[in-house]
A and B are shown apart, each in its own frame.
Chain A
Amino acid sequence: MTGYLRLVGQFVAILLLFSAVVAFANWPIYRQTPEGSAIVVLTFIHGADRKGECRQRSPEEMAKLAPNMRRTLDCPRGRRPIYVELDLAGKNIFSATLPPTGIAGDGHSRVYRRFVVPAGQYEIVARMRDTPRTEGFDHERKETVTLAREQMFVVDFRSESGEFVFR
Chain B
Amino acid sequence: MIGTIRSIFRRGFEWVERPLDWLFGPALNPIAQLGALGFFFFWIVAVSGIYLFIFFDTGIERAYESVESLTNNHWYHAGVMRSFHRYASDLMVVMLVTHLLREFAYDHYRGTRWFSWFTGVPIIWLLYTSGITGYWLVWDKLAQYVALVTSELLDWLPIFGEPIARNFVSTGTLTSRFFSLMVFMHVAVPLFLLFAMWIHILHISRPKMNPPRALAVMSLIALVVASIWNPAISQGHVDLAKAPVAVGLDWFFLPLYPLTDLWGNGAVWAFLGTFSLMLGLMPWLPPLRRAKAAEVDLAHCNGCARCAEDCPYEAIRMVRRSDGLPFPTEAQVNASLCVSCGICVGSCPSSTPFRRSQELRTGIDLPDFPLQRFRELTVETAESLDGKKTRILVFACEHGGGAGHLTGVVPLPCVAMIPPSLIDFVLSKKLADGVAVAGCAKSACFNRLGVAWTEQRFAGERDPYLRTRVPRNRLKTIWASALEASRFEGELTAFAKQVAAIPEVPPALPQTIISALSSEPRRMPEGSVP
Instruction: Report which A residues bind B (CB closer than 8 A).
Output: 6, 9-11, 13-15, 17-19, 21-33, 37-39, 41, 43, 45, 101-102, 107-108, 110-112, 114, 150-152, 154, 156, 167
Interface of B is mostly: helix
By the criterion CB–CB under 8 Å, are B166 and A112 in contact? yes
Choose from A23, A112, A114, A152 the contact partner of B241 (Cβ within 8 Å).
Answer: A152
By the criterion CB–CB under 8 Å, are B252 and A21 in contact? yes
* Complex-state Cα separation, A28 to B241, whole angstroms: 25
**1/0 contact trace for B225-239 toward A, CB 8 Å?**
111011010000000
By the criterion CB–CB under 8 Å, are B225 and A152 in contact? no
By the criterion CB–CB under 8 Å, are B221 and A37 in contact? no
Which residues of A are found within 8 Å of B388, using beta-carbon distances?
none
Residue B223 lies at the interface, judged by CB distance under 8 Å to chain A: yes
By the criterion CB–CB under 8 Å, are B218 and A154 in contact? no
Choose from B20, B161, B240, B249 the contact partner of A101 (Cβ within 8 Å).
Answer: B161
By the criterion CB–CB under 8 Å, are B243 and A150 in contact? yes
Given contacts A32-B247, A102-B161, contact A25 B232 (CB under 8 A): yes
Interface of A is mostly: mixed
Which residues of B are found within 8 Å of A30, using beta-carbon distances?
246-249, 257-258
Query: Interface size of B by Cβ–Cβ distance < 8 Å?
Result: 48
In chain A, what residue has the closest Cβ to B233? A26
In chain A, what residue has the closest Cβ to B83? A22
By the criterion CB–CB under 8 Å, are A45 and B162 in contact? yes
* Complex-state Cα separation, A15 to B170, whole angstroms: 42
Shortest beta-carbon distance from A86 to chain B in Å: 15
By the criterion CB–CB under 8 Å, are B170 and A154 in contact? yes
Which residues of A are found within 8 Å of B30, using beta-carbon distances?
14, 17
Given contacts A18-B223, A22-B226, A45-B162, contact A29 B155 (CB under 8 A): no
Which residues of A are found within 8 Å of B20, using beta-carbon distances?
13
Choose from B166, B222, B252, B258 the contact partner of A18 (Cβ within 8 Å).
Answer: B222
Which residues of B are found within 8 Å of A41, using beta-carbon distances?
169
In chain A, what residue has the closest Cβ to B242? A150
Choose from A19, A27, A101, A108 the contact partner of B226 (Cβ within 8 Å).
Answer: A19
Given contacts A14-B30, A15-B222, contact A32 B230 (CB under 8 A): no
By the criterion CB–CB under 8 Å, are B245 and A37 in contact? yes
Choose from A18, A23, A110 the contact partner of B91 (Cβ within 8 Å).
Answer: A18
